Chains A and B, each alone.
Chain A
Amino acid sequence: AQSVAQPEDQVNVAEGNPLTVKCTYSVSGNPYLFWYVQYPNRGLQFLLKYITGDNLVKGSYGFEAEFNKSQTSFHLKKPSALVSDSALYFCAVRDGTNFGNEKLTFGTGTRLTIIP
């Protein structure tokens, strides 16, 4: 079975400071990892994904994420937070071993608030 955990329901960061949104995962095979962002009253928007290769993945809006296999983590980061980054962030995982697996499992979400 595949699962993903976002240990923080809420993260507050001052504008201009670096931000980190945490995600850990569990799969039996190779993890394929995704980050999505949801702005108020909107659908989810894709930010970035890790499939294979470089452990540091760069995505939209200046976000990046670091894949750490030993810690089974895929934390989302940004060097300097903007007020417009305030939103709900979801981590998601698919198990790459099972090629019949068409399901994406989401975490419960982390609400990021950037304080001016």
Chain B
Amino acid sequence: NAGVTQTPKFQVLKTGQSMTLQCAQDMNHEYMSWYRQDPGMGLRLIHYSVGAGITDQGEVPNGYNVSRSTTEDFPLRLLSAAPSQTSVYFCASSYSWRITDTQYFGPGTRLTVL
């Protein structure tokens, strides 16, 4: 098992550009989520999905879109990048949406918006 994989590892964008952060898992997990990590703020939930075709907003969804067309993939789209979106982004998955399930995290994508 590769676990949770994320691409790219690093990305630099100019303000106004769009891009997609990729996330995939090979564990047949139903639940997937995206977090951003900023210094002194811990991890904040952006969007999550409890299964293919179902997504919902987390704490900080503005400026981001997601879709979940397959169980394996959960891409995060930045529609028009802003400097405030400079952060480290983590994708996570768990077997189900049950709140006792452990989440497994990918290695992260470090995004800089100039």
Contact = CB atoms under 8 A, between A and B. Distances in A.
A31 to B, nearest CB: 10
A7 to B, nearest CB: 13
B contacts with A: majority SS: strand
B107 A46 contact: no
B48 A103 contact: yes
Interface size class for chain A? 20 to 34
Contacts of A105: 45
Given A32-B100, A44-B90, A103 B45 contact: yes
B58 interface: yes
A19 B44 CA distance: 27
B31 interface: yes
A90 B42 contact: yes
Interface of B: 4, 31, 33, 35, 40-45, 48, 50, 56, 58-59, 90, 92, 97, 99-100, 102-108
